[in-house]
């Protein structure tokens, strides 16, 4: 690289990633092929529109790439093109969610999603997000005692508030989601069910979490978390949605129009090509094994942490993610994540349900196993990681040396 300053910073970041343990559940490591597609000349090209209907010339190869990305995405989730459409152009998860709302819910009307501090996402109707400003938002929470979803409470709220669209799928929820129950709730009030599987898409693809596709009208997902692709997103639309038919809406067309020209301009074709690469990588027995191992590792990490005396939100993990209530041991979430980082363990502070503290310094830290699993770690290493976390937080030790040893044993391969 001629730009020495940026080259140096990239190299330092590469070294940081290699020599630390990433436990951020929304992060992962992409393959060399995904990186190559992202760094390709495709970034030079404008391609506003959709395959075979572009506003610019020179798109013959671009069209093939987008068509391939769509076909591979549908195949990965075992969807028939007759029944489902997919849009691979959203720049990331937040614009994907915004595009669905723009397509299906008139501005100002009501949407319903989970509260951010309970584990929902900003774009599910939080008041600081456009989704909570341009639409009227009602938010459900989780059960105070069990710290899991209470579907009967969500049904009651839906009946009382009569939203036009219900959002399921979360950012910090460690348990399995029952999508059939969400369908029943949406049907009870006759509205759209949108499922945001950004966090668990890789688990769904690999058969390690139930699929929302039999139940949802729309499914959104980022491609860069458990799915192990580029930073980007996709929107799947159910062409046989009864709610869309009742509202006289061509759901696939409405979503395509909302993405472009409703919200975005030219698609980032380097990202689209990288999605295509990632979809093929995920459509393999090796990836299925990976997804199952992510969950096994999360359960092993959770069990070991509980054994060391930690209180976990909801008492454990069914997926890739764990929430530790560190405040219960007298440590703030901010302090906990800072102390872990000094030893090379990268986690993020997070609210826990009904958190008495503030989001700036909440009661919890959020951990996830996707990245360590990509590095090849298994249950045995999760026990070591749990011990290192406990040593740092409860015994005030610096475990940098042990962290580096583990990183060297499980190098990042691209």
Q: How far is the CB of 95 from ligand PLP (least distance, A)?
A: 7
Look up 338 and say whether it is catalytic: no
In the bound state with ligand PLP, the residue whose beta carbon lies nearer, of 131 and 297, is 131
Look up 231 and say whether it is catalytic: yes
Residues 101-140 that bind ligand PLP (CB under 6 A): 121, 123
Look up 391 and say whether it is catalytic: no
The answer to whether residue 222 forms part of the interface with ligand PLP (CB under 6 A) is: yes
The answer to whether residue 371 forms part of the interface with ligand PLP (CB under 6 A) is: no
The answer to whether residue 196 forms part of the interface with ligand PLP (CB under 6 A) is: yes
Cis peptide bond N-terminal to 261, omega within 30: yes
Indicate which single residue of 199, 228, 320, 375 sits in contact with ligand PLP (rule: CB under 6 A).
Answer: 199
Stretch that binds ligand PLP, among 89-97, 255-263, 307-315, 376-384 (CB under 6 A): 89-97
The answer to whether residue 92 forms part of the interface with ligand PLP (CB under 6 A) is: yes
Look up 387 and say whether it is catalytic: no
Residues 157-176 that bind ligand PLP (CB under 6 A): 169-171
The answer to whether residue 87 forms part of the interface with ligand PLP (CB under 6 A) is: no
Q: How far is the CB of 225 from ligand PLP (least distance, A)?
A: 7
In the bound state with ligand PLP, the residue whose beta carbon lies nearer, of 174 and 344, is 174
The answer to whether residue 70 forms part of the interface with ligand PLP (CB under 6 A) is: no
The answer to whether residue 94 forms part of the interface with ligand PLP (CB under 6 A) is: yes
CA distance 44 to 269: 9
CA distance 195 to 11: 37
Q: How far is the CB of 170 from ligand PLP (least distance, A)?
A: 6
* Cα 389 → chain centroid: 24
Look up 222 and say whether it is catalytic: yes
Q: How far is the CB of 401 from ligand PLP (least distance, A)?
A: 32
Look up 225 and say whether it is catalytic: yes
Stretch that binds ligand PLP, among 48-56, 192-200, 272-280, 399-407 (CB under 6 A): 192-200
**Active site (catalytic) residues:** 46, 48, 196, 222, 225, 231
**Chain contacts with ligand PLP (rule: CB under 6 A):** 26, 92-94, 97, 121, 123, 169-171, 196, 198-199, 222
């Amino acid at each position: 690289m001629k730009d020495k300053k940026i080259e140096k910073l990239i190299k330092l970041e590469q070294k940081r990633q290699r020599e630390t343990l990433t436990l951020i559940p929304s992060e992962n490591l992409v393959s060399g092929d995904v990186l190559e597609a992202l760094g390709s000349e495709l970034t030079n090209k404008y391609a506003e529109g959709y395959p075979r209907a572009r506003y610019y010339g020179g798109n013959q190869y671009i069209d093939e790439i987008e068509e391939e990305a769509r076909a591979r995405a549908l195949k990965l989730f075992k969807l028939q093109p007759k029944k489902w459409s997919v849009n691979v152009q959203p720049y990331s998860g937040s614009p994907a969610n915004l595009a669905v709302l723009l397509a299906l819910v008139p501005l100002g009307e009501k949407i319903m999603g989970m509260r951010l501090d309970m584990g929902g996402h900003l774009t599910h109707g939080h008041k600081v997000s456009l989704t909570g400003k341009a639409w009227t938002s009602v938010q459900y929470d989780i059960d105070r005692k069990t710290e899991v979803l209470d579907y009967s409470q969500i049904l009651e709220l839906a009946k009382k508030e009569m939203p036009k669209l219900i959002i399921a799928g979360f950012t910090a929820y460690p348990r399995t989601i029952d999508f059939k129950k969400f369908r029943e709730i949406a049907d009870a009030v006759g509205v759209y069910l949108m499922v945001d599987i950004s966090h668990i898409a890789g688990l769904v693809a690999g058969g390690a979490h139930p699929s929302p596709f039999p139940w949802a009208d729309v499914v959104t997902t980022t491609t860069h978390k458990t799915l192990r692709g580029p930073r980007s997103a996709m929107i799947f639309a159910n062409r046989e949605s009864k709610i869309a038919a009742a509202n006289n809406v061509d759901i696939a067309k409405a979503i395509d129009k909302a993405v472009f020209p409703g919200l975005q301009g030219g698609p980032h074709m380097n990202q689209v090509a990288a999605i295509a690469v990632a979809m093929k990588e995920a459509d393999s027995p090796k990836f299925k094994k990976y997804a199952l191992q992510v969950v096994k590792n999360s359960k092993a990490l959770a069990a070991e942490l509980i054994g060391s005396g930690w209180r976990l939100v909801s008492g454990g993990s069914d997926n890739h993610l764990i929430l530790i209530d560190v405040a219960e041991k007298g440590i703030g979430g901010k302090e906990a994540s800072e102390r872990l980082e000094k030893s090379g363990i990268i986690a993020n502070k997070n609210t826990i349900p009904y958190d008495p503290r503030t989001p700036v310094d909440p009661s919890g830290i959020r951990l996830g196993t996707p990245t360590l699993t990509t590095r090849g770690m298994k249950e045995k290493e999760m026990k070591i990681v749990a011990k290192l976390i406990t040593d740092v937080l409860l015994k005030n030790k610096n475990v940098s040396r042990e962290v580096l040893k583990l990183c060297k044993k499980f190098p990042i391969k691209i």
